[in-house]
Amino acid sequence: MGAGPGTLNWPLRGRTTELDRAGSALQSPETTVVSLTGLAGIGKSAVARALLWQAAESGRPIWIPVDDYATDDEAIQAAAARLRAHHGSGPAHVGVDGVPGRRVDRVVAAIAVQFPSARIVATSERPLGLPGEIAIPVVPLSRAASIELLHDRARVHADLGVFETADDLACDSIAARLAGHPLALHLAGLQSRTLSLPGVAAELDLSSDILRDPDPGTATRHQSLAACIRTATDGLDEFQSEVLALAIALDGGLDTATVRRIPGGDDRPRAVDAVTALVGRGLVATAVGNQGRARIRAHPLLRQMTDPPRPEPATMRAFEQDLAEGALAMNAKRGAEWSVAAAWFDDEHANLLGLFRNWASAPEAPDPWPYVDALFRYWVHRGLMATGVDLVRELGRPENDRPEDLAVYLQTLGGLQAHLVSYTAVYDDLSRSVELWRITGDRQRLATALVRYSASAQEVDGFAKARAALEEAMAIYDELGDPWSRARTQALLGAAAAGVPGQTDFARDCLESASTTLRGLGDTGAASLPLQQLGRILLDEGDYEQAETLLDHGYDEAVRVGDLVQTSAYLNLLAWGDESNGYPARAASRYLESLKIAVRLGLRARAVWCLDGLADAVESLNPGLAELAATEAAALRDELGLVNWIEFCCPKRHPSTVRPLAPQSTRIARLGGQIWPPSLVVNQTQRLLVNLADSGARAMVQQANADEKGRPDGLTPREMEILGLIAQGNTSRDIANRLVISIDTVGRHITNMYRKIGARGRADATSYALRHGIGTTS
């Protein structure tokens, strides 16, 4: 496709949707003009040029850049002269490239009246309001298209040939920061002439000022990105400005119900019109939130590159109060209602973080500490412990004398760090929080603190101390009439007992009782914890078949509710069963998937469990990798101060699996000087599994083609081929390209294949391939 008149031959990235919609509209006989609308610098001109070049076919479109003319009348006269000269050369295709502050609608209307047969494409920040107009919004680029655009510019300006890993990571970081705004991405690419791409990313982390001084050759209207974006807010009425100000102030955006609570927003048509106008200008985008309501988010560059409008103090205070009270109300939800609470926190999480930071820095603001702990359960549920630790540390240790605030600080920070570091490291903080809640007399908070303290108590003082803490908490929940919290605490008591000699029967009784209660309350998600521990007991006893049934069910439930921490634990337990049953490659695949979750969430103690298991699983497949994984686990153990166990859910490890290990300095050297993240182990394990799958997949596909009856579970030859490619680590798009079929066809084959083999995802498919000879088993 040509780039269009008067432009460099840049490839057009990520605009298929806009081109298709605008092209169809341009061909309609009822259409007078197609207007491409959106935020300044969003790429409307590039889409218009490409559309005109495509529509004109053998002819040459007429391009009228309004900012090249001193007045609108001059632009109209120039367009008329060129159209008269074009007479008789086929249908005329005209592009009117608008500029903020000029009457683009007047120019387009004059051309349409004088030359009714002309096909007109106009660019404008908002619809022109002309008869027969079809407005097509031009939206921010996707992440993939943004990275492609950066690659284009960097290759030209920085003379980059092959991109290094650091460059690719920098492009991803830049694209995320600039939120798909093509002009900003273009200017970032220009900076790569003097800075490396990682350097541009680092500068953007400090300030967006790096984008304020573009190349002298940039169009006049784009000489300042800040000025370019600022013009989009011109002409907003008072209510529209207030909606935009609130959207800019809130990192997580706002929903339509909040818009209607803004003074004047109770008039629903007015609220809808305001949002529609802001979307039309490209100032905000709408999407369906996790609660099913439309959410409105401002373009990030509005905050970074302009002096944004600020919401009225009364409006902001009302929103903040609703938000804080909502957090307490959602945290109090129990049983099946937790899914509603989790969806609410998904939508409002970023807003809550901003709220607490604002309250901590404003002298007259409310105290954030009574509300901070309301996020603890959500952080653990979604695996956002590192996010919570960062916020608590940013807020700092309370300086007032209120024991309640200090207790919240200690139990929140300690409870989160226990997942990231170790229970031993936070013993003092958690035990101190228990003392403080005893002083305040808050029984509900005391029970919560006892539950969090119990894991540290078991690691440091032993099971008896942990049991005492958990049983006291259960008694308090009985007193408060909270059966849901009691059942969850009883499940933890069963988990703590499961690894203690002579306590297996007690553990099983606790876990079965907790599971029955939680299911009776309709909370199948919370019931996955006792299922997990019952499965672990069965594994310890050697009943692998029954254990796998329980663990498979619990794994499905953890995936369904989006609990990554529990998903990882289930993967490890299932892998332990695979290893014990003689499926080392399948076990390694599951340990690897779990390890990736642990790395993503920053769960170092969980990673030790993954690495220990991985070392055992690959011993027969690759002894060198087994030693590397064990070395990584030992180095992390030393760093975290772990002694006897990692987590409640970690099964007993047999003495034969303990390896003699080198001193810590030697271990770190073997790991390339880096303990975290365990990149060497991850990369080598992935390579091992791909090699195993590759060698087995070729043999299996050849056999399947030779003997159709030999295919397992009724798989077709094509399904076998795709299964082999999945086992090698190929994405759906990779498979489509390799087999020269559409990605939709690949998707249909994968759906049918998963149904036949009972797979839930790629990990299961890879495991199936390995079990049936598409990979290898021991």
Q: What is the pLDDT of residues 670-694, one digit of tens each?
A: 676 777 889 889 989 988 888 877 6
**Which of 128-137, 209-218, 566-575 shows the lowest per-residue confidence on average (mean pLDDT)?**
209-218
Give the number of other Cβ atoms within 10 Å of residue 764's Cβ. 18
Query: Which of 262, 291, 311 marks a domain boundary?
Result: 311
**Which of 99-103, 463-467, 569-573 shows the lowest per-residue confidence on average (mean pLDDT)?**
99-103
Looking at residue 651, its pLDDT comes to 62
Q: Is the dihedral of CA 430, 432, 435, 440 positive or negative?
A: negative
Instruction: Tell me the CA end-to-end span of the chain in Å, nearest whole number.
Output: 54
Looking at residue 1, its pLDDT comes to 34
CA nearest neighbour of 688 among 761, 586, 559, 612:
586
Looking at residue 362, its amino acid is A
Note whether 627 and 720 are same-domain residues.
no
Looking at residue 695, its pLDDT comes to 62
User: Per the structure block, which two tokens stand in for 142?
Assistant: 């996707």
Note whether 557 and 602 are same-domain residues.
no
**Which of 376-390, 391-405, 434-448, 630-644 shows the lowest per-residue confidence on average (mean pLDDT)?**
630-644
Looking at residue 644, its pLDDT comes to 55
Looking at residue 6, its pLDDT comes to 38
Q: Which domain holds residue 746?
A: 682-771
**Within a domain: residue 476?**
no
C-beta of residue 168 within 8 angstroms of C-beta of residue 148: no
Note whether 64 and 84 are same-domain residues.
yes
Looking at residue 160, its pLDDT comes to 59
Higher pLDDT, 640 or 243: 243
C-beta of residue 613 within 8 angstroms of C-beta of residue 579: yes
Each residue's pLDDT tens digit, 462-499: 899 999 999 999 999 999 999 999 999 999 999 889 87
Rg of the chain in Å (alpha carbons): 31
Q: What is the mean pLDDT of residues 530-549?
A: 86
Print burial letters for 353-376: b (CB count within 10 Å at least 16), e (below 16): bbbbeebbeeeeeeebbebbbbbb
Each residue's pLDDT tens digit, 514-537: 999 988 888 877 777 788 889 888
C-beta of residue 664 within 8 angstroms of C-beta of residue 638: yes
Note whether 20 and 128 are same-domain residues.
yes
pLDDT grade, residue 705 (50/70/90)?
very low
**Within a domain: residue 766?**
yes
Looking at residue 406, its pLDDT comes to 94
Distance CA 472, CA 157 (A): 67
The CATH number of the domain holding residue 77 is: 3.40.50.300
Looking at residue 440, its pLDDT comes to 94
Looking at residue 668, its pLDDT comes to 66
Looking at residue 661, its pLDDT comes to 58
Q: For residue 761, report the phi and psi dihedrals to the nearest 5 degrees.
A: 180, -170
Q: What is the mean pLDDT of residues 372-393?
A: 91
- pTM: predicted TM-score of the whole model, two decimal places: 0.71
Looking at residue 471, its pLDDT comes to 97
**Within a domain: residue 649?**
yes
pLDDT grade, residue 704 (50/70/90)?
very low
pLDDT grade, residue 451 (50/70/90)?
very high
Which stretch, 46-50, 436-440, 520-524, has highest mean pLDDT?
Answer: 436-440
Looking at residue 425, its pLDDT comes to 85
pLDDT grade, residue 2 (50/70/90)?
very low
C-beta of residue 287 within 8 angstroms of C-beta of residue 302: no
Instruction: Give Cα separations from 429 to 422, 436, 573 (angstroms).
Output: 12, 11, 30
Looking at residue 158, its pLDDT comes to 59
**Within a domain: residue 477?**
no
Each residue's pLDDT tens digit, 329-361: 999 988 778 888 989 999 999 999 999 999 988
Looking at residue 655, its pLDDT comes to 40
pLDDT grade, residue 367 (50/70/90)?
confident
Note whether 662 and 720 are same-domain residues.
no
Q: What is the mean pLDDT of residues 22-31?
A: 89
Note whether 33 and 127 are same-domain residues.
yes
**Within a domain: residue 406?**
no
Please give the share of the chain, as a percent, with pLDDT higher than 70. 86
Q: What is the mean pLDDT of the chain?
A: 82
Note whether 592 and 605 are same-domain residues.
yes
Note whether 692 and 724 are same-domain residues.
yes
Query: Which of 286, 311, 336 marks a domain boundary?
Result: 311
Note whether 590 and 698 are same-domain residues.
no
Instruction: Give Cα separations from 33 to 38, 43, 147, 615 (angstroms).
Output: 16, 18, 32, 66
Looking at residue 164, its pLDDT comes to 64
Note whether 532 and 604 are same-domain residues.
no
Q: Is the dihedral of CA 683, 688, 693, 698 positive or negative?
A: positive
Note whether 239 and 226 are same-domain residues.
no
Please give the share of the chain, as a percent, with pLDDT higher than 90. 25
**Within a domain: residue 293?**
yes
The yes-or-no verdict on residue 599 having pLDDT over 70 is yes
For residue 297, the SS3 value is strand
Per the structure, how many domains does the chain have?
Answer: 6
User: Per the structure block, which two tokens stand in for 466?
Assistant: 């942990």
Q: What is the mean pLDDT of residues 150-156?
A: 78
**Which of 23-32, 124-133, 203-212 shows the lowest per-residue confidence on average (mean pLDDT)?**
203-212
**Within a domain: residue 531?**
yes
Distance CA 217, CA 196 (A): 21
CA nearest neighbour of 521 among 482, 557, 489:
482
Higher pLDDT, 710 or 413: 413
The yes-or-no verdict on residue 27 having pLDDT over 70 is yes
Q: Are strands 284-288 and 294-298 parallel, antiparallel or unpaired?
A: antiparallel
Looking at residue 355, its pLDDT comes to 93
Higher pLDDT, 196 or 326: 326
The residues, ordered by sequence, that sit 6+ positions from 305 with a Cβ below 8 Å of its Cβ are 208, 211, 212, 225, 226, 229, 230
Query: Which of 264, 286, 311 marks a domain boundary?
Result: 311
**Within a domain: residue 106?**
yes
Looking at residue 224, its pLDDT comes to 64
Q: What is the mean pLDDT of residues 721-739?
A: 78
Note whether 71 and 171 are same-domain residues.
no
Looking at residue 157, its pLDDT comes to 63
The yes-or-no verdict on residue 646 having pLDDT over 60 is no
The CATH number of the domain holding residue 759 is: 1.10.10.10
